[in-house]
A and B are shown apart, each in its own frame.
Chain A
């Protein structure tokens, strides 16, 4: 680590002049410091990887460059002259191009039309689009990146790597100014492994054209394979910039995770040998889009955590278990099989599921809080098939009080509540029916600190009352706090397992990255 800058300089493509220079940039969101005095630079014709854990500041930095956030301090220069990303169109004009994780493609349009989004079309008299000319251009732009596609096919029908290629080709399109710097934000997150190699070829092709590339990724092997230099961020600060050749996997993990975060196992109460629990949830050979033959068990009264990078299968596990996503393999709750594609039978078998996306998959926006709480089971309020509103009201009021939902008003439109309170409403929905197994996907995403503590308390209580709980989360601290056991997902399978006192943030993070 002696003078990484100097070493770094030695490996860059010769003659690569400085394209982007970020000096002393800081950004705080309220009391949270997202970036602290960060320096960062990219040269022409290099691939510069930006790595760090969730919350390390990578995406904040990218968003500052894209003009989404205003830096509190610091300066940015592009090719030697000052650059103000907040000025509309400035980033484009100066040659900065972004490919975000979601790619921003329109599935129902064809390749040509997607490439023209933003740029528009060349027109002939009288404002007629020359499709022949457009197709030719599209084909040429893609051929430059090594793609040979039927440009008339709908983007929705293409493979993941082809879609990424189209997004990149669109970003590189030379309207208004030539592309000088390409920012790729997690481009492989949703890419099957076989297609990653193809993307790498594309990125190398771009580098050969003298464009600078910022490559944001969680996957350290990719970074080592592809990047010329690597900048590591931790807790909003720059750990250092290194030549990729000087790093290896273990060294990177150490730098990313840091030694400071080593903590004692926290209040993990009992080391809880798995044999103590009677199995509530038994999953065998579960496969899906990313998942490959996952088998696991959750005992009654046990809280099992699932950690893993985006794309490891972590985010697919909950929906697949519940039967919301396509899957093969078997799932059973206390011996009752849960068939694929039938969430109603999953509920009947005693499975509850709090999805990660509470707005689109959890809550019904047009319904009030009360109706959202009781949606999973209305039987207790039926007498002779007729819904007894009074009983429902008093029951819901009790639940809102118990989970401290504010305001404690069950006739409020659900979307008027804050994120934390919305999440509590969703949690109340499932806790109320006393599920045998509760699966939670990112239970405290976008939730304030107070609500987070309450939700954690409820998870622990539910387990104490005999439910088996599975918590899928990217928040390692959360897993440390609530779990008896943590499974680490890697490449669609369970790569490692941590038990009781062995569970620590540092261990989880290390195992996720390996």
Chain B
């Protein structure tokens, strides 16, 4: 019986190789192909490429930052509002003070760290469920957004230097895309190639067992919540530089796409595990589909429908396939 288990695993891996782990990339290719044939004159342009890369960089950063707490088994629902707050705060600083933008950026990241610490204090020290603690934090941050902005859109003229931070084009692609790429690389590396990464996944997989193996699970939860909030804070600064103004409603709606991408990403690259590259692929898969639909002139509601159906299908299929195996049997 032992031998047969081994051979079936081998056979399965050989047979499904790629199709399983990289299905997202194939589907992405398929989506590109469909729209290339459907609306070639608008879809197959460098503008589309650039808009996609740029628009999704901010959402992508938030999503990849979210990978860290999800790997540790906790939710961070405050990231959308962290982004919303630093977006407003950055613009406010630009309009009302003449502090150097590098300093402002650091201040905003520090705010993110502080929010993460506050979340972690509630989750780890007090023992509040992360879902509830970070939901409360979202609401608190919403209050701050309204307080700082006085409930009015803030517009101002940024320095060119700062604008370039969000709008520069490098190698034909907007600069924020490279922030996202760098962030993905770092988070992937840490989760995959360091002791901390292994401990983070163990914490998320079974906190009690991880703790009894000598992992300081509380510390990993704390750091993960700080990372996601700090990354979201940075993404807010990038968005401010990109937009040049502060919309009060731009931040919070990034939350759901970020979760969609992270969960969809967990069916990719490292199956059954939340991971950075899978999330990145998912962000662009969804964005490409949505962009194509927009260019094809479909109704606005089709975008949300597309996102929702893709997530439900991808995760549904992954869970369904896994059910054939014994519970927990996820060979990466």
Query: Using a CB–CB distance below 8 Å, which chain A residues touch chain B?
Result: 322, 324, 343-344, 346-348, 353, 355, 360-368, 371, 374-379, 382, 385-387, 389, 406-407, 409, 411-416, 418, 421, 429
Contacts and interface: CB of A to CB of B under 8 A. Distances in A.
Contacts of A363: 206, 209
B206 A387 contact: no
Given A364-B202, A386-B193, A416-B5, A324 B211 contact: yes
B195 A387 contact: yes
> A382, A389, A412: which has the most chain B beta carbons within 10 Å?
A412
Contacts of A366: 201, 204-206, 272-273, 328, 330
A412 B325 CA distance: 11
Given A364-B205, A382-B195, A412 B331 contact: yes
Contacts of A376: 213-214
Given A367-B202, A409-B6, A361 B331 contact: no
Contact of B194 (A347, A361, A385, A415): A385
B2 A406 contact: yes
27 contacts: A324-B211, A324-B212, A343-B212, A343-B213, A344-B211, A344-B214, A347-B214, A361-B209, A364-B205, A365-B327, A366-B206, A367-B201, A368-B332, A371-B202, A375-B198, A378-B195, A385-B195, A387-B194, A387-B195, A387-B197, A407-B2, A407-B5, A412-B331, A413-B330, A414-B328, A415-B329, A418-B2
Nearest to A366: B205
Contacts of A355: 212
Contact of A407 (B3, B209, B327): B3
B324 to A, nearest CB: 12
B2 A416 contact: no
Nearest to B202: A364
A360 B327 contact: no
A375 B205 CA distance: 12
B207 to A, nearest CB: 9
A343 B273 contact: no
Contact of B213 (A365, A375, A379): A375
B6 A365 contact: no
A377 B209 CA distance: 14
> In terms of DSSP, what is the predominant structure of the interface of chain B?
helix
> B201, B206, B210, B213: which has the most chain A beta carbons within 10 Å?
B213
Contacts of B327: 365, 415
A473 B175 CA distance: 62
Contacts of B325: 413, 416
B62 to A, nearest CB: 24
A351 to B, nearest CB: 9
A260 to B, nearest CB: 35
A411 B332 contact: yes
Given A366-B272, A382-B195, A413-B325, A348 B214 contact: yes
Contacts of A367: 201-202, 205
Given A362-B209, A366-B204, A378-B195, A413 B214 contact: no
Given A368-B331, A375-B210, 11 more contacts: A324-B212, A364-B206, A365-B327, A366-B205, A377-B214, A378-B195, A385-B194, A387-B198, A407-B3, A407-B9, A413-B331
B39 interface: no
Contact of B9 (A353, A361, A385, A409): A409
Interface of B: 2-3, 5-6, 9, 192-195, 197-198, 201-202, 204-206, 208-216, 272-273, 325-332
Nearest to A429: B213
A167 to B, nearest CB: 26
A367 B9 CA distance: 16
Contacts of B216: 344
Nearest to A414: B328
A493 to B, nearest CB: 25
A366 B325 CA distance: 13
A361 B195 contact: no
A421 B205 CA distance: 20
Contacts of B2: 406-407, 418, 421
Nearest to B272: A366
A387 B193 contact: yes
A385 B192 CA distance: 12
Given A362-B209, A416-B326, A407 B6 contact: yes
A364 B9 contact: no
Contacts of A382: 194-195
Contacts of A377: 214
Which 7 interchain pairs have the tightest Cβ spacing?
A: A347-B214, A413-B329, A415-B328, A365-B328, A406-B2, A366-B205, A407-B6
A489 to B, nearest CB: 21
A411 B215 CA distance: 22
Contacts of A343: 211-214
> A346, A365, A414: which has the most chain B beta carbons within 10 Å?
A365
Nearest to A374: B198
B195 A347 contact: no
A368 B208 CA distance: 17
A324 B213 CA distance: 10
A380 B326 CA distance: 32
A378 B215 CA distance: 11
> B193, B198, B202, B212: which has the most chain A beta carbons within 10 Å?
B212
Contacts of A407: 2-3, 5-6, 9
A411 B206 CA distance: 18
B190 to A, nearest CB: 10
Nearest to B327: A415
A361 B208 contact: yes
> A346, A367, A376: which has the most chain B beta carbons within 10 Å?
A367
A315 to B, nearest CB: 15
Contacts of B192: 387
Nearest to B216: A344
Contacts of A413: 325-326, 328-331
A323 to B, nearest CB: 9
A386 B209 CA distance: 24
A424 to B, nearest CB: 12
Contacts of B326: 413, 415-416
B215 A344 contact: yes
A253 B201 CA distance: 50
A288 to B, nearest CB: 16
Nearest to A377: B214
A228 B44 CA distance: 89
B21 to A, nearest CB: 13
A446 to B, nearest CB: 15
B294 to A, nearest CB: 37
A364 B195 contact: no
Contact of B206 (A324, A365, A418): A365
B215 A375 contact: yes
B332 to A, nearest CB: 6
Nearest to B208: A361
A275 B23 CA distance: 65
Contacts of B204: 366
A421 B212 CA distance: 20
A360 B2 CA distance: 24
B214 A346 contact: yes
A365 B192 CA distance: 18
B270 to A, nearest CB: 11
A416 B329 contact: yes
> B205, B216, B327: which has the most chain A beta carbons within 10 Å?
B205
Nearest to B329: A413
A322 B212 CA distance: 8
A215 to B, nearest CB: 34
A411 B202 CA distance: 16
